Copies of this chain bind each other. A is one copy, B any other.
Amino acid sequence: MHDIGFANHDHATCVTTALATVETACAAQKLQLTPTRRRVLEILLEEHRAMGAYDILAILAAEGLGSQPPVVYRALDFLVSNGFAHKIEKLNAYLACTHPGENHSPVFLICRACETVAEASMPMTDLRRAADGAGFLIENTVIEVEGLCPACREAA
């Protein structure tokens, strides 16, 4: 596993490089990164946390970018289905991908104390091998781990 994600980081750079990566990927794949889609991604990147769809919608509404649920759900659908953001099923919340474009099977580490969510990436060899053996064809995985991050573990 790499990129455990609970460490401090240069957030301004983190946002701008992720945006640039997504822009490049959209250009390459002829995907339309429209203003609302782009703004939703920016919001997720800036906040750098798992956000509910209605939290995002409130921000969009305040900026005059739309106030009805379909606005945000459409943007999220675009971002998630193209791998630029992820849905955390356990939280019904959305998170910008920390390495968009790369083909990856994310693992999310959710701290129940500080609510931070870190995206890790690791080879799930156990899972692949077992599923293959059983004849199950894996198309998508949801791997979410709840617990305490290093900082909150320390504090407790």
Contacts and interface: CB of A to CB of B under 8 A. Distances in A.
Number of copies: 2
A135 B124 CA distance: 19
Which residue of A4, A144, A145, A149 has the most chain B CB atoms within 10 A of its CB atom?
A145
Given A141-B144, A144-B142, A148-B136, A124 B122 contact: no
Main secondary structure of the interface of A (DSSP, over half): mixed
Q: Which of under 10, 10 to 19, 20 to 34, or 35 or more describes the interface residues of A?
A: 35 or more
Nearest to A152: B137
A4 B126 CA distance: 14
Q: Which 3 A-B pairs have the closest CB atoms?
A: A1-B130, A135-B150, A89-B89
Interface in A5-42: 6
A147 B138 contact: yes
